Structures are given as C-alpha cells and as structure tokens.
C-alpha cells in the first residue's frame, strides 16, 4: 500500500497536463472543473488509504519509495524518492484534503472566467509541487517543490494580470506577483546555502541519513557554528515562504490573486511549508539553541507585528492575510521553544479555519460584486446565512473559544511558550491572542451584523450555490471538531491515557529532538495547576477580545474606535500603513539597489567593464583560433613534420 | 561446439560475413542485396555480442581454465565485458552509418557495393582492437580498421576533396603505423612477449629492459595518439573528416575514434600502469601520465579553438571531434574506475550525438562540399522544424548541457580527473567546454534566430531518418537514465 505513494503526486500532475494541454479544446467549464477536482480528490483518497494502512501497521521507521534516480555521485543522490512517515503523510492529507475542497469551491467561484482552464491547470500544478515538497525524502526534491509552489504562487497572484491592485509601488496584480517572487528569492538563497552546508557537513541530502548522522553525533555537533549557520539559513528560507519578519511583506499583497488561491496557497498550505521544513529538520534545530531562540523570537515578533496591523485594516482579505502572518508567527514560536507537535498541530487546525475564513470571504466578495472593503458591507447574515454560520464557527475557532479546534492548538502553543520558553514569550503571545479575538470579531461584526452599508438597490447579495457552501460546511465541521486530535493532558486525562492523539502519532519523529532539547535546557516547569490556570487565562483573554469588539462595533457609528483612532493618530497611522515596512524597505533596500544598478552597475560596470572583459576574451579567443588555424597548412609534408616534432618531444621527456 | 567458440561468435560472424560480402558482390552485383546482407550481418554480430555480454565473469574464467584453443588459453583474445560492449557499439555505429549512407551515396551517384564490405571489414578491425589481449592482435585490428578507412575516405572518387583526404590519411597513417609497430617491437624486445597482460606483469616486477621499454612506451603513445587524433598528431583529422563523404566522416569520427580510445585504454592500463610501484619504471610511467595529460589538454583546447573560427559546419564538426578526443583522454589520465566509466559513457554518448550531427549535415549536402556553411543554416527552423530540433539536441548534448547524454559523460570524466588530483586538467577542460559552447549554441542561434538569407535549403532525408531518430532518442534516454550504461559498464576495466 505504501508503495502506491507515487500516485499521490502523479494524479495531480496528470490533471495539470490534461487541463494544461487540452483545456482550451475542452469548452465545458464543468468538465475542466471535474477533471481538476477529481485529480486532487483521488490523490486524497490514495493518501487516506496510506494513512489508514499506517494506522493499522505502524511504521517503525520512515518508508522510502524511490521512483527514479537520475544519478548518484559521492553522497549526492539526485533522485525522485518519497519518504512516508507520520509528518509527510499528515501534511499530504491536509494538502490534498483542503485542496480538494477548495478545488470544488473554485468551480463555482471562477465560473465564467475567460481563463478558467488555466486556473485549474495552475491549481493542479500547485498541488503536485506541494506534494513533492512534503513527501520528498531529501532536501533537493523538497527544494524543487519549494520553488515549484513559489512559481505557482507567482502565476496565481498575477492570474488576473490586467487588473489593478493597490499597494506600495504596486499598480497591477502582476507587480504583487513579482514582489512575492522576489522576496521569496532572498529566502530561497538561504535555503540553497543551507543545503550546500548540509551536504558538506553530512555528505548527504537525504533526510534519513542527515537525521541519523545528526543524532549519532549530537554531542559533537551540539551548538557548533556550522549547525547554527545551517539552521539559521534554513530558517531564512522559512521566513520567505512563510512570510515571517523580516520577509513578511509579500503575503498581504499576494491577496491580489483570486480568493480560492488565497485560501489554498496563501493560508492553508504553501505558507506552512516553512513550518514543515523546520519540523522536518527538527533535529538540526534542536542542536542549535541559538537558532531555536531566533526562531522563537522571530515567531513571536511576527505574531505581534501582524496582529496589531490586522486590527485596523479595512480590506476583508487583508485582515485575513495579516491574521495568517500572525498565526504563522504562533507556529514558529511553538517550534522555537521545541514544541514541534504543537506547531504542526496549529498548521492543521489553521488550514481548516483559515481556509474556511478565506472561502467565506470569497463568498462575501462574490455576493457583493467584488466589494472587499468591510466598511461597505454589513448585515450579510440576513442574505447569506450559511456563509455566516460557517464564518462564525471559524471565527470562534481562531479566537480560541473552548473546544473549537483553534482553542486546543493555540492553547498548546501558549502553554509550551510558558513552560519551555519563558513568561515574556507567553505574555506577548497572549496579547496577540487577545488582538486576534478582537480583529476577528471586528470583522465578523462589520461584515455580518449592523445595517447594510452598501447600496441595496443595485447590489443584491445572495447565498452561494451548493458547490461553494458544501466545502464551507465541511471545513466548518473540521474547524469545530479538528481540535480533539490534540486534547491537552489536563483536560483529556479523564477520558483516556493518551488524549493527545497527534502527539503520540508524531512522537517517533520528534523524540530525539525533544530529548536533546530537554538535556540542554533548564528544568521545564510542569505543574498541572499552572496549566489549568493558563487555560483559564487564555479563554478569558479571548472572551475579553470578543467583548471589546462587540462593544466597539455593535455601535453603528463606531464612535469609540474613531475616537481612539484620532486620539492615537500616529499609532493608528503606523498600524494602518503596516509600520511603513514597505516604505522602509523601498528606501533602504530597493531604491539603493535599483539606483546603483541602473546608474553604476549597468551603465559603467556591466557595459564597460564586464562587457569589455567578455568581448575582449572572445576577441582574444577568436584571434587565437585564427592563429592556430594557420598551422592547418593542408600539406602532408608539414603535418609529418609536426608529428615528427611531437615524437621527438615525447621521447625526449620520457628519456630525460 | 566448444563453449569458448560461443564467445568468439561475434568475431567469427563479422569476419566471415565481411569476406562473404565481397564474394556476393562478385557473383550477383546487386546493390540492395549487399545492403541488406550487411545489415543482417551486423545485427547477427550485435546479438552474438549481446549474448557474450551477459556471461558472468565466473563463467568466462571457467572457460578460460578449460579452454583448448591457443587463442584463449594463451590470452590472445579477451572476451566478454568491455569487449562485448564495444562490439555492440561498433555494430550499432555500422548499422546507423549504413542506413544513413544508402540514400546519401545513391544521391551522389556513387553507390558501389564495396562500400558495405569496407564498412564490415573495418568493424571487424575495430572489434579485434577491443578484443585484443596481445600486441599482435591489436596491430592486426588497427590495420584492418585503417586500410578500409583509407579507401572509404576516397570513396567519392570524382571529388578531389575526397581523393585528397584519402591520400593524406594514407600517407600520415602509414607514417604513424610505422611508429606504432616500432613501439610494439621495442616492447617485445624489452619483455620478450607479446601478451599484453604478461608484459604488464614483467614491467611491474622490474624485469624489463629499461631503454627499450621507455622507447616502446613512447612510440606506442605516438601511434595511438595518431589513431585517436590527439595533438600534435591530430592535423590529419580535420582535413580527412571534412574531405571524406559526410557519412563516412561520421563513421570515422565516432566508431574509428572509439576503437582508437579502446586500444589506448588497454595499453595505458595494462602496460604503462601509472601507479606502478617498480622503481625501474615508476618515473617513466608518471612522465607518460603527464604527457598524456598535456596531450589531452592541448587536444581539447586546440580542437575547440580551431572549431570556433570555422565557417563551415562540417569542418566545425571535424575540429570539434578532435576536441572530444581530448576529453576522452582525461579518463585515461585519471585511470580510476570513475575515469573508465566516464570513457565508456562518453564514447557511447558521443557516438550517437556526433553521428546524428554529421548525418544532418549530410542530408543537406549537394555535390560534395556545397551548402554547408553556417550561413546556409540561418532560419532553418522555418523550413525544417524537425531537423532543426534534432540538430539542436545534438548540439546541446555535444556542448554538455543536461539533460542530454553529453552532460553526464563530461561530468564523470571531469570528476574522475579531479579525484586523480588533476585539477588543472579539469580547469582546462571546463574552459575549452565554454569555448565550445560558442559554436555549438551558435549553430542553434543561426537556425532559430537568424533570418533566412540564402533561400531554402533542400533536404533529402530518406532512410537517414531512422539513424536520426535512433541517435536522438539515445542522446535523450542516456541523459535521463544514465544508470542504464553506468550500471552495466561499471568495473569493466
């Protein structure tokens, strides 16, 4: 059963090829949609079969399936081979499962689009690349998938290439695509260098070999500069792909793409690739306390940075985008304190509720004829009851209301940030959790409650068709119940011995890393009372956020928020303009590079110096060739003479 | 039938059928008959060789132990392993050449039956080279290959270029053969035997007569370098390759070069033995290694530099084939497993890509040497999209660009040289590869990005399309699945 894994990426690839090559000839949108969706659906089924097989016959070690080996030289093994273990199959389930729902949703969402087939081809290609990323058995293939999803992200952000899009130095959707792509390049550079270092250090790029070698010589490698360099560079890659500081700036602009794309790529799957990579190489991170600290601090800082911005944004997708950045920050904070399971757990629940939020937002935008400003919405629960209820469930989940999925995963992160990290991390994350509850309910109130602030005579919002609401309902169920996979010990101990199913599922993978961290770190404080207390506090924080949002935004005139905004104008403006990070980057990085490139590097260095060298070399080479050609006299006697000279020389060297 | 004769079958079939081809010609004078017969003969040889290739080393050793005939028991002839592999390569080269040549020579009104028997004879010689385990067999093989080559070069007897090529080849070839034979005599004088393995043992034990040995090694180097067209004994090659009928050049530049390199490898590995410990010869062996390294470096540089300034595509290919001999010699210099694997891989890849390129030139040719300059190829993709695409594949592979087969050949050879501590040689190889990029890619640019200037080029592909399709497929398949060859040929030498 496990060897069927090749089908998992293969089917979406076939889907991509079919739609990409024949899409134009297939006139019927529905046919294209069904091909695209069923490719991902079948792939999900195979993944699920493998998953159940693993449940009944637990794997003692990772199962490697080599599909095709290009070549092998030294320790470098360039092959397409997949690694089935608890982590990869979990990610594959999320990617194909959520991906399938979003494909179904897109059939209705993209209806009538002039490039309908192109959209589905890209989506299938994305799923293929993402599966390569998570299923790969080595860094190289993961990198290939990593670049592939980056490409798909670029193609889909600029999918409506002739539409305008507002942003700092961005006019068209294509500019946003460029921005995402270029910012990611910086991270990819880190990933590449990290791979070189890994190869030099471990003489292999295969996960199994690297992990084995690292755990064998963990004492020797612990805290060394090499490991710290490798992990920090890998993490640089993660900050790009997962939109963490300092590379977080691209994700909000990526909202230029169609909403299903935002749901699939920029919320549920691709942006969690960074979390995957850290979890995959958890042993390397465990060996470098310095890198772990960096990961935790960056995660917390990003969570705070994005959560605060999210409070004041008025574009429904932008709010969700900043929320995504913030939640990704939570995940990295968890990884940084060594709670790998908690990080992966949050990836999963986040995929459910954030996917749902985006799809709900898409339904709203559609219903209001492409309106995205939440200040021009209101009272939509009257028109779109299903969308409203599912959106409400997702909002409860992300805010951390007990027994919804987000509650469990976020609470686990908060608890670990306290017990394995320190109280400052916990405090900041709790504040972020408060903000999260606040901005999400602000969104909910502005969109679904109050009175209609759009022109009711021209705009008639309506509920979406079933093909869009059914995915919403399934995701809502998952957002509500998905958390029970990871019930924390103090809450679940009454029901079962190991209530945290996910923890026992992933345990074999993170065992070694956790032991290394435990041995190195100070005694963690594990008090049951403390854990209860923290759970209560985080629930209280969430409810406080909700109450505040309700107080502020159930008032139709938003008196209080407006008053606050004018009192704290500088702060408000800083938040509204995202701490001016884009402008700072433009001023400090983009402009200097651009200007020096244009004025010096291009005109002087490139055109005079480099071209001079290149053309000069070429000229000299050609001259040399012309000169040597003259020795090709064409006369046999001369050739014989040259040969004779050669013979004399060779014999001379051999004899003397 | 004795078991050992099964293993000799490839040699028996090819030699009997080469003679038979002449006889058929005398009796029936049917062009198509000779064409079909030689294809049949080559296929039969190929199958027999493939059969011996599958034999395990144990089986071969067992047969050697109980062999009755002198040929094997006295180690005159090596069989199985690399010999069988090269038999297959030579037969393939022969098949591809004959198929591509049939429409070509017919078009030029020069189809005579000797063509097919000459090809068979020369393949017989090449196979003897790869089977040789004695200097005598090696010499017979080299001569049996070379003499039909002289005739084939002048096959277009009405073209002065062809006749000139033939004469040049013959004069210089005879000159070089003299040195080769003289070297063999010296080696015999130094060791008292013609058995290559035994010579090696005597040398490593330090029992050879030094002065004869050194002279013998030097003169053998000269002779083999000439056959492989390596600097400074390469000057005949561009003239001969560009003067000969194009399909014949394809055969010379691929199979002929492969055979010479096999001979070179056998001599270098068994006799010169770079890592020999014997005090008496150690210095000479190391000097010889350095000399070959220098020859290799100079060959690729000079080959590529002169190819760079050619205006005629066929001459460009001729010079570039000199450069490829330089790359191949790197593997001999490295003399490690990776190097030998690299040689086998590169020869296999090179055979297909160079053959394909020459054959494409041949389908555009008219009246000998016309219509072959770079300018004639401009805008070719418009009138001949498929041929342009195929030519691009061959050019990219010759330039060593992945995922085509040429890339892996270079990759293994470069890696082997680095592992053998010949970093400088690798650097030279990289530089000359970069130079070669200019004219290989230049031809692609010419075909795709230049406007047509000289009017439409006319092509007559005919049966040559089979050769082109097979060579292109091989170049792609070996690039994507290099392990097909590497797994098979590892540990051959």
CA B312/CA A133 separation, integer angstroms: 48
Quote the minimal CA–CA distance from B283 to chain A in Å: 9
Long-range contacts: A50-59, Cβ < 8 Å, 24+? A50/A1, A50/A2, A50/A4, A50/A5, A50/A8, A50/A84, A50/A89, A51/A89, A51/A93, A53/A1, A53/A2, A54/A2, A54/A84, A54/A86, A54/A89, A59/A84, A59/A85, A59/A86, A59/A508
Radius of gyration for chain A, computed over Cα atoms and rounded to the nearest angstrom: 28
Mean pLDDT value of segment B130-142: 92
Please list every residue in chain B whose beta carbon sits closer than 8 Å to the beta carbon of residue A623: none
Determine if residue A452 is left, alpha or beta; phi over 0 gives left, psi from -120 to 50 gives alpha, anything else beta: beta
Q: In chain B, what residues touch A621 (CB-CB under 8 Å)?
A: 305, 308, 435, 438
Q: For residue A592, what are the CA distances in angstroms to A124, A588, B286?
A: 39, 7, 56
How far apart CA A460 and CA A382 sit, in angstroms, is 11
Q: Which of A96, A111, A109, A98 is nearest to A45 (CA)?
A: A96
Question: What local confidence, expressed as pLDDT, does residue A278 receive?
Answer: 95
A375-to-A84, A253, A388, A440, A447 alpha-carbon distances in Å: 47, 20, 17, 14, 8
Mean pLDDT of chain A: 89
DSSP secondary structure, A202-243, as one string: HS--BHHHHHHHHHHTHHHHTT-HHHHHHHHHHHHHHHHHTT
Please state the rounded mean pLDDT for residues B423-440: 92
Q: What is residue A73's three-state secondary structure?
A: strand
Give pLDDT, residue A168. 80
Tell me how crowded residue A526 is: count the other CB atoms within 10 A of its CB.
11
The shortest CB-CB distance from B435 to any of A621, A629, A642 is to A621
Question: In 3D, which of A90, A57, A487, A97 has the Cα closest to residue A280?
Answer: A90
Residues near A198 by beta carbon (within 8 Å), at least 6 away in sequence: A139, A205, A210, A230, A284
Q: Are strands A164-167 and A76-84 parallel, antiparallel or unpaired?
A: unpaired
Phi and psi, residue A67, nearest 5°: -90, -45
pLDDT tens-digit readout, B155-184:
888 888 888 889 999 999 998 999 999 999
Find, among A561, A541, A581, A558, the residue nearest to A311 by Cα. Answer: A561
Q: Which residue has the tokens 């409810």?
A: A543
pLDDT at A634 over 80: no
Q: How far apart are CA A576 and CA A314, in angstroms?
A: 9
Model confidence pLDDT, tens digit, residues A485-496: 888 877 776 767
The ipTM assigned to this model is 0.84
| B221/chain A closest Cα distance in angstroms | 9
With residue A367 as reference, give the H or E element that holds it: helix A340-367
**If pLDDT is split at 50, 70 and 90, which confidence band does B348 have?**
very high
How far separated are the first and last CA of chain A, in Å rounded?
A: 69
pLDDT of residue B69: 60
Are B482 and A628 a contacting pair at CB < 8 A? no
Residue by residue, DSSP assigns B401-427 as -TTSHHHHHHHHHHHHHHHTT-HHHHH
Q: Say yes or no to pLDDT of B2 above 80.
A: no
Closest by Cα among A410, A438, A399, A405 to A331: A410
Number of CB pairs < 8 Å for A and B? 87
Band (A26; pLDDT cuts 50, 70, 90): confident
**Residue B137 to residues A432, B60, B141, Cα–Cα distance (Å):** 85, 20, 6
Measured distance CA(B470)–CA(B476) in Å, rounded: 10
- On whether the CB atoms of residues A373 and A314 are closer than 8 A, the answer is yes
Nearest to A625 among B167, B291, B305 (CB): B305
CA distance A205 to A613: 37
Nearest to A360 by CA among A446, A477, A468: A468
Cα distance between residue A630 and residue A621, in whole Å:
14
- Read off the pLDDT of each residue in A178-193 and give the average, rounded to a whole number: 92
Q: Which residues of B touch A626 (CB under 8 A)?
A: 309
- Asked which of A131-145, A301-315, A603-617 is least confident by mean pLDDT, the reply is A603-617
DSSP secondary structure letter of residue A416: H
Contact across the interface for A636 and B411, Cβ inside 8 Å? no
Residues of chain A whose beta carbon is less than 8 angstroms from a beta carbon of chain B are 69-71, 73, 618, 621-622, 624-626, 628-629, 631-632, 634, 636, 639-640, 642-643, 645-647, 650-651, 653-655
DSSP string, A473-508: HHHHHHHHHGGGGG--HHHHTTT-S---HHHHHHHH
Coil, strand or helix at B366? strand
pLDDT surpasses 50 at A28 = yes
Distance of CA B46 to the CA centre of its chain: 17
pLDDT bracket for residue A585 (50, 70, 90): confident
Q: Which residues of B touch A628 (CB under 8 A)?
A: 302, 305-306
Helix (H) / strand (E) element for A65: namely strand A63-73
Q: Is the pLDDT of residue A156 over 60?
A: yes
Taking alpha carbons only, the member of A398, A368, A395 closest to residue A380 is A368
In tens, the pLDDT along A523-554 reads 556 677 888 888 899 999 999 999 999 888 88
Q: How confident is the model at residue A107 (pLDDT cuts 50, 70, 90)?
A: very high
Task: Tell me what pLDDT residue B73 has.
Answer: 52
Residue A630 is predicted with a pLDDT of 78
Give yes or no for B282 touching A (CB within 8 A): no
Q: Which pLDDT score is estimated for B1?
A: 45
Q: At A407, give phi and psi (nearest 5°).
A: -60, -50
- What does the radius of gyration of chain B's CA atoms come to, in whole angstroms? 22
Q: Which of B222, B231, B415 sits opposite A73 (nearest CB)?
A: B415
Going by C-alpha positions, the residue among A372, A322, A364 that lies closest to residue A472 is A364
A80 SS3 class? strand
A238-270 pLDDT tens trace = 999 999 988 988 998 999 999 999 999 998 899
DSSP string covering B317-340: HHHHHHHHHHHHHHHHHH-SHHHH
**pLDDT, tens digit (0-9, with 9 covering 90-100), for B386-422:** 999 999 999 999 999 888 999 988 999 999 999 888 9
Nearest to B236 among A631, A639, A654 (CB): A639
pLDDT band at B378 (very low <50, low <70, confident <90, very high): confident
Question: Which among A69, A624, A651 has the least Cβ separation from residue B305?
Answer: A624
Answer yes or no: do B232 and A73 touch at CB < 8 A.
no
User: What's the rounded Cα separation, in Å, for the pair A138 and A148?
Assistant: 16
Burial class (CB in 10 A: 0-12, 13-18, 19+), B418: middle
For B96-102, what is the mean pLDDT?
Answer: 90
A229 to chain B, closest Cα gap in Å: 28
Under an 8 A CB cutoff, do B222 and A647 touch? yes
Contact, B362 vs B414, CB < 8 A?
no
List beta partners, residue A68.
A80
pLDDT of residue A330: 94
Q: Can you tell me the distance from the alpha carbon of B114 to that of A63, in angstroms, rounded to the nearest whole number? A: 61
pLDDT at A391: 94
State the pLDDT confidence band at B74, using cuts at 50, 70 and 90.
Answer: low
Q: How far apart are CA A611 and CA A618, in angstroms?
A: 10
pLDDT value at B445 more than 70: yes
Residue from B176, B224, B232, B442 whose CB has the most chain A CBs within 10 Å, to mutate: B232
- A246 upstream amide cis, omega within 30 of 0: yes
Residues of chain A neighbouring B215 (CB-CB closer than 8 A): 651, 654-655
Residue B369 has pLDDT above 60, yes or no: no
- Output B61 or A197, whichever has higher pLDDT: A197
What is the reported pLDDT for B458? Answer: 75
- Whole-number pLDDT of residue B67: 60
Partner A contacted by B284 (CB < 8 A): yes
Residue B455's pLDDT band (boundaries 50, 70, 90)? low
CB contact under 8 A, B222 and A653: no
User: How does pLDDT run across A269-281, given as a tens digit for each residue?
Assistant: 999 999 999 999 9
The predicted model gives A465-479 an average pLDDT of 92
Average pLDDT over residues A431-458: 90
- Kindly tell me if the per-residue pLDDT of A578 is higher than 60: yes
Task: Out of A6-10, A255-259, A456-460, B416-420, pick the least confident.
Answer: A456-460
**Confidence check: pLDDT of A198 > 50:** yes
Measured between alpha carbons, how far is A320 from A442 in angstroms, rounded to an integer? Answer: 12
pLDDT reading at A17 higher than 50: yes
Query: Which has more confidence, A426 or A492?
Result: A426
Question: pLDDT-derived band of residue A397, with 50, 70 and 90 as boundaries?
Answer: very high
What's the first-to-final CA gap in chain B, in angstroms? 29
Written as six digits, the tokens of A53 are 């097989």
Q: Given a cut of 90, is residue A295 above it in pLDDT?
A: yes
- State phi, psi for A83 to the nearest 5 degrees: -115, 120
Does B454 score more than 70 pLDDT?
Answer: no
Chosen for mutation from B177, B218, B413 (greatest number of chain A CBs closer than 10 Å) is: B218
* Residue B299 CB partners (closer than 8 Å, separation 6+): B229, B230, B231, B234, B322, B323, B325, B326, B329
Which tens digit of pLDDT belongs to each residue from A29-83? 899 999 999 999 999 999 999 999 998 888 888 889 988 887 777 677 888 899 9
| Surface of B (288-307) touching A: CB under 8 A | 288, 290-291, 302, 305-307
How far is residue A106's CA from residue A464's CA, in Å, rounded to a whole number? 12
Prediction pTM value: 0.80
B409 contacts in chain A (CB < 8 Å): none
Bigger pLDDT: B41 or A488?
B41
Confidence of residue B105 (pLDDT cuts 50, 70, 90): confident
- Contact (CB, 8 A) for A139 and A205: yes
Provide the chain B residues 376-415 that lie in CB contact (below 8 A) with chain A: 408, 411, 415
Question: Would you place residue A218 in the very low, low, confident or very high pLDDT band (cuts 50, 70, 90)?
Answer: confident
Interhelix angle B257-267/B114-131, rounded to 10 degrees, is 20
pLDDT in tens, A554-569: 877 788 888 888 888 8
Which of A623, A625, A630 to probe the B interface (max B CBs under 10 A)?
A625
Q: Is the model's pLDDT at B275 over the cut of 80?
A: no
Q: Which of B179, B239, B290 sits opposite A647 (nearest CB)?
A: B179
Between CA A562 and CA B174 the distance in angstroms is 101
pLDDT confidence of B68, banded at 50, 70, 90?
low
Count Cα neighbours of A90 within 13 Å in the Cβ-side half-sphere.
25
């Amino acid at each position: 059963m496990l060897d069927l894994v090749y089908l998992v990426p293969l089917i979406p690839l076939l889907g991509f090829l079919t739609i990409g090559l024949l899409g134009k000839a297939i006139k019927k949108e529905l046919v294209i949609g069904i091909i695209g969706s069923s490719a991902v659906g079948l792939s999900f089924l195979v993944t699920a079969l493998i998953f159940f097989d693993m449940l009944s016959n637990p794997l003692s070690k990772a199962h490697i399936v080599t599909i095709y080996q290009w070549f092998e030289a030294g320790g470098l093994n360039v092959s397409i081979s997949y690694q089935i273990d608890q982590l990869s199959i979990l990610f594959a389930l999320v990617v194909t499962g959520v991906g399938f729902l979003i494909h179904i949703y897109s059939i209705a969402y993209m209806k009538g689009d002039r490039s309908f087939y192109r959209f589905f081809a890209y989506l299938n290609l994305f799923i293929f690349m993402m599966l390569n990323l998570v299923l790969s058995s080595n860094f190289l293939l993961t990198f290939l998938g990593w670049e592939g999803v980056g490409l798909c992200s670029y193609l889909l952000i600029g999918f409506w290439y002739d539409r305008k899009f507002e942003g700092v130095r961005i006019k068209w959707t294509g500019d946003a695509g460029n921005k995402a792509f270029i910012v990611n390049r910086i991270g990819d550079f880190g990933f590449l260098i990290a791979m070189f270092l890994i190869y030099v250090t471990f003489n292999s790029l295969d996960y199994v070999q690297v992990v084995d070698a690292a755990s064998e010589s963990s004492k020797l490698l612990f805290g060394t500069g090499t490991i710290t360099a490798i992990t920090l560079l890998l993490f640089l890659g993660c900050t790009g792909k997962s939109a963490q500081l300092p590379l977080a700036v691209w994700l909000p602009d990526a909202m230029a793409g169609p909403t299903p794309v935002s749901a699939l790529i920029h919320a549920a799957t691709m942006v969690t690739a960074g979390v995957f990579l850290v979890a995959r190489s958890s042993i390397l991170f465990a060996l470098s306390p310095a890198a772990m600290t960096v990961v935790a601090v960056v995660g917390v800082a990003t969570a705070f940075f994005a959560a605060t911005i999210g409070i004041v944004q008025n574009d429904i997708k932008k709010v969700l985008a900043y929320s995504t950045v913030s939640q990704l920050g939570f995940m990295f904070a968890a990884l940084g304190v060594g709670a790998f399971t908690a990080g992966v757990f949050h990836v999963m629940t986040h995929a459910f509720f954030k996917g749902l939020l985006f799809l709900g937002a898409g339904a709203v935008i559609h219903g209001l004829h492409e309106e995205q400003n939440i200040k021009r919405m209101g009272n939509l629960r009257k028109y779109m009851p299903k969308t409203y209820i599912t959106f409400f469930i997702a909002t409860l989940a992300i805010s951390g209301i007990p027994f919804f999925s987000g509650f469990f995963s976020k609470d686990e992160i908060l608890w670990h940030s306290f017990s394995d990290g320190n109280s400052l991390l916990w405090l900041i994350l709790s504040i972020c959790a408060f903000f999260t509850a606040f901005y999400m309910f602000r969104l909910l109130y502005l969109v679904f409650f109050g009175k209609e602030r759009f022109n009711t005579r021209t705009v008639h919002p309506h509920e979406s068709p079933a093909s869009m609401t059914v995915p919403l309902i399934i995701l809502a169920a998952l957002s509500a119940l998905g958390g029970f996979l990871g019930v924390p010990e103090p809450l679940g101990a009454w029901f079962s011995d190991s209530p945290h199913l996910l923890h026992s599922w992933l345990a074999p993978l993170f065992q070694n890393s956790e032991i290394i961290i435990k041995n190195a770190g100070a005694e963690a404080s594990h008090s049951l009372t403390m854990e209860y207390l923290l759970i209560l506090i985080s629930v209280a924080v969430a409810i406080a956020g909700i109450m505040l949002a309700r107080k502020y935004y159930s008032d139709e005139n938003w008196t209080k928020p407006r008053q606050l905004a004018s009192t704290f104008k500088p702060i408000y403006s800083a938040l509204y303009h995202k701490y001016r990070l884009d402008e700072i980057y433009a001023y400090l990085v983009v402009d200097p590079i651009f200007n020096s490139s244009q004025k010096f590097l291009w005109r002087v260095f490139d055109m005079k110096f480099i071209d001079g060298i290149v053309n000069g070399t070429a000229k000299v080479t050609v001259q040399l060739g012309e000169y040597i050609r003259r020795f090709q006299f064409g006369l046999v006697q001369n050739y014989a003479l040259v040969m004779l000279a050669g013979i004399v020389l060779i014999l001379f060297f051999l004899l003397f | 039938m004795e078991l050992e004769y099964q293993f000799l079958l490839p040699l028996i079939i090819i030699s009997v059928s080469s003679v038979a081809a002449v006889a058929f010609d005398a009796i029936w004078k049917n062009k198509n008959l000779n064409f079909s017969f030689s294809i049949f003969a080559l296929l039969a040889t190929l199958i027999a060789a493939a059969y011996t290739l599958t034999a395990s080393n144990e089986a071969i050793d067992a047969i050697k132990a109980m062999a009755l005939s002198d040929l094997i028991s006295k180690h005159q002839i090596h069989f199985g392993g690399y010999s069988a592999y090269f038999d297959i390569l030579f037969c393939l080269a022969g098949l591809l050449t004959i198929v591509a040549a049939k429409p070509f020579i017919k078009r030029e009104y020069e189809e005579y039956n000797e063509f097919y028997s000459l090809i068979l004879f020369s393949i017989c010689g090449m196979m003897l080279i790869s089977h040789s385990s004695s200097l005598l067999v090696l010499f017979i093989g080299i001569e049996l290959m070379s003499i039909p080559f002289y005739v084939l070069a002048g096959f277009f007897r009405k073209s002065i270029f062809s006749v000139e090529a033939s004469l040049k080849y013959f004069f210089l070839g005879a000159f070089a053969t003299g040195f080769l034979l003289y070297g063999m005599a010296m080696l015999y004088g130094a060791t008292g035997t013609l058995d290559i393995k035994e010579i090696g043992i005597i040398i490593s034990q330090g029992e050879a007569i030094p002065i004869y040995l050194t002279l013998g090694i030097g003169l053998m180097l000269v002779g083999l370098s000439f056959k492989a067209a390596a600097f400074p004994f390469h000057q005949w090659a561009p003239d001969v390759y560009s003067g000969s009928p194009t399909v014949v050049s394809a055969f010379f530049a691929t199979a002929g070069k492969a055979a010479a390199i096999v001979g070179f490898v056998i001599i270098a590995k068994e006799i010169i033995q770079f890592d020999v410990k014997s005090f008496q010869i150690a210095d000479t062996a190391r000097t010889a290694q350095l000399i070959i390294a220098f020859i290799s470096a100079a060959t690729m540089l000079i080959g590529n530099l002169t190819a760079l300034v050619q205006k005629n595509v066929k001459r460009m290919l001729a010079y570039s084939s000199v450069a490829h001999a330089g790359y191949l010699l790197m593997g001999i210099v490295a003399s490690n497993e990776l190097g030998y694997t690299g040689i086998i891989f590169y020869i296999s890849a090179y055979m297909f890509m160079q053959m394909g390129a020459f054959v494409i030139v041949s389908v555009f040719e008219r009246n000998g040497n016309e219509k072959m300059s770079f300018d004639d190829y401009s805008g070719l993709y418009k009138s001949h999209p498929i041929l342009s695409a195929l030519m691009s594949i061959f050019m990219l592979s010759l330039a060593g660009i992945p995922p085509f087969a040429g890339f892996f050949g270079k990759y293994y050879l470069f890696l082997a040289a680095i592992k053998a501590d010949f970093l400088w040689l690798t650097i030279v190889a990289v530089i000359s590869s970069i130079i070669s990029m200019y004219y290989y890619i230049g031809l692609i640019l010419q075909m795709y990005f230049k406007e047509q200037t000289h009017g439409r080029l006319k092509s007559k592909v005919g049966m040559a399309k089979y050769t082109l399709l097979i060579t292109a497929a091989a170049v792609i398949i070996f690039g994507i699945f290099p392990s097909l060859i590497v797994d098979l040929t590892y540990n051959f030498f």
